[in-house]
């Protein structure tokens, strides 16, 4: 048994291997009407292919807790029962393949209401199914984005409840793990960072105040998410700013807080909250941030970021830098990456009977 293909158990959920798929938006749902935010045949085929390819855990893409929480009008949502029913088809199939289905609950904040990336990603208005965005502070993400409306304390409380209601629906939809999206410059990340949070009330200023909303969301979700099922949190470990932003030290401290509030694993990414920054990318460039959290906060972590080779992934786990690896673009390129890696490393992965000739 190689580390990459050892099972991993959190609470009462056992994930068959450490090859995981991170949330990657497909921007392929209807933008309005009764089918808005509802998974389509594209989503089913997309996730089913990675499950039959041996992926141990699939985290379904950022799924909005409200219509206004979508990144684009074409994002998935989980604010109504029609969406829940459509998700059941996906979670049922994934579970039949031995893959653990997870979902990322999200709100885009000031980066909401934009066009799809292949259409340029610019903010859109009502004429293109758009809406007005909200944020901790009335600060635009960049010169292209409009200034968002600053959330009131009452609206913040409503948002916490929206995450809880979405978690209940995720459970009804058959998901085994819920992940709260606190990264990449979206709403929760905007509260965490002093770069985007200039509030002077109980939700801004000090570290304790800036993390309040995130921990309120964690508490609300954990209260409705069963004790036997894990809860993940995705974080941007740094804004990549020289000063005035969220830092790796903040992340280590925050990881301890998350652990105390019932989070079982930190999904460690970086960036996305400040425009125009230079990020020194390269193979495994975000792994050291995950390793710090695992070593200093004692919280299990998953590492992501230009992890492409089986030997590279195996080394990350063998060195104790992470408990699992998340492969994004590589799984887009090769849905059967886990099966190929198992063959290369001498590990074992489940193969559907219909594909037995490929072993």
Other beta carbons within 10 Å of 135: 25
Cα–Cα–Cα angle for 242, 245, 251, nearest 5°?
A: 110
Other beta carbons within 10 Å of 153: 11
Asked if 335 contacts 50 with a C-beta cutoff of 8 angstroms, the reply is yes
Alpha carbon 33 to its chain centroid, in Å, reads 26
Within 8 A by CB and 6+ apart from 355, the residues are 52
**For the chain, how far is it from start to end, CA to CA, in angstroms?**
17
Within 8 A by CB and 6+ apart from 182, the residues are 188, 189, 192, 214, 233, 234, 235, 236
- Residue 59 bridge partners (DSSP): 102
Asked if 282 contacts 306 with a C-beta cutoff of 8 angstroms, the reply is yes
Q: Which two tokens stand for residue 319?
A: 């060195």
Rg (CA), the chain: 19
Cα gap 62→104, rounded to integer Å:
5
Q: Catalytic pick from 27, 47, 186, 203?
A: 186
Verify whether residue 74 is a known catalytic residue: no
Length of the chain counted residue by residue = 359
Helix (H) or strand (E) holding 333: helix 329-333
Catalytic center residues = 186
């Amino acid at each position: 048994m190689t580390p990459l293909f050892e099972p991993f158990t959190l609470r009462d959920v056992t994930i068959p291997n450490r090859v995981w798929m991170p949330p990657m938006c497909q921007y392929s749902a209807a933008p309005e009407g009764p089918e808005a935010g509802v998974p389509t045949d594209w989503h089913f085929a997309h996730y089913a292919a990675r499950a039959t390819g041996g992926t141990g855990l699939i985290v379904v893409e950022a799924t909005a807790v409200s219509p206004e929480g979508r990144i684009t009008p074409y994002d998935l949502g989980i604010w109504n029962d029609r969406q829940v029913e459509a998700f059941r088809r996906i979670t049922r199939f994934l579970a039949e393949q031995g893959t653990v289905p997870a979902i990322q609950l999200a709100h885009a904040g000031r980066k909401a209401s934009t066009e799809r990336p292949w259409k340029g990603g610019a903010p859109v208005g009502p004429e293109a199914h758009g809406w007005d965005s909200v944020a901790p502070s009335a600060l635009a993400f960049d010169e292209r984005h409009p200034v968002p409306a600053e959330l009131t304390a009452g609206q913040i409380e409503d948002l916490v409840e929206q995450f809880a209601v979405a978690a209940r629906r995720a459970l009804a939809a058959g998901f085994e793990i819920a992940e709260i999206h606190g990264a990449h410059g979206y709403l929760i990340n905007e509260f965490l960072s002093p770069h985007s949070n200039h509030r002077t009330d109980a939700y801004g200023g000090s570290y304790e105040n800036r993390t309040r909303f995130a921990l309120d969301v964690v508490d609300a979700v954990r209260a409705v998410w069963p004790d036997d099922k894990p809860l993940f949190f995705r974080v941007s470990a740094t804004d990549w700013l020289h000063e005035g932003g969220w830092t790796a030290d903040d992340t280590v401290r925050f990881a301890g807080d998350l652990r105390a509030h019932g989070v079982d694993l930190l999904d460690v990414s970086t960036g996305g909250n400040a425009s125009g920054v230079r990020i020194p990318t390269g193979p495994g460039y975000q792994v050291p941030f995950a390793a710090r959290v695992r070593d200093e906060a004692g919280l299990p972590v998953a590492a992501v970021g230009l992890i492409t080779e089986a030997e590279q992934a195996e080394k990350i786990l063998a060195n104790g830098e992470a408990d699992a690896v998340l492969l994004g673009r590589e799984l887009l390129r090769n849905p059967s990456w886990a099966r190929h890696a198992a063959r290369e490393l001498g590990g074992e992965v489940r193969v559907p009977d219909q594909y037995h000739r490929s072993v």
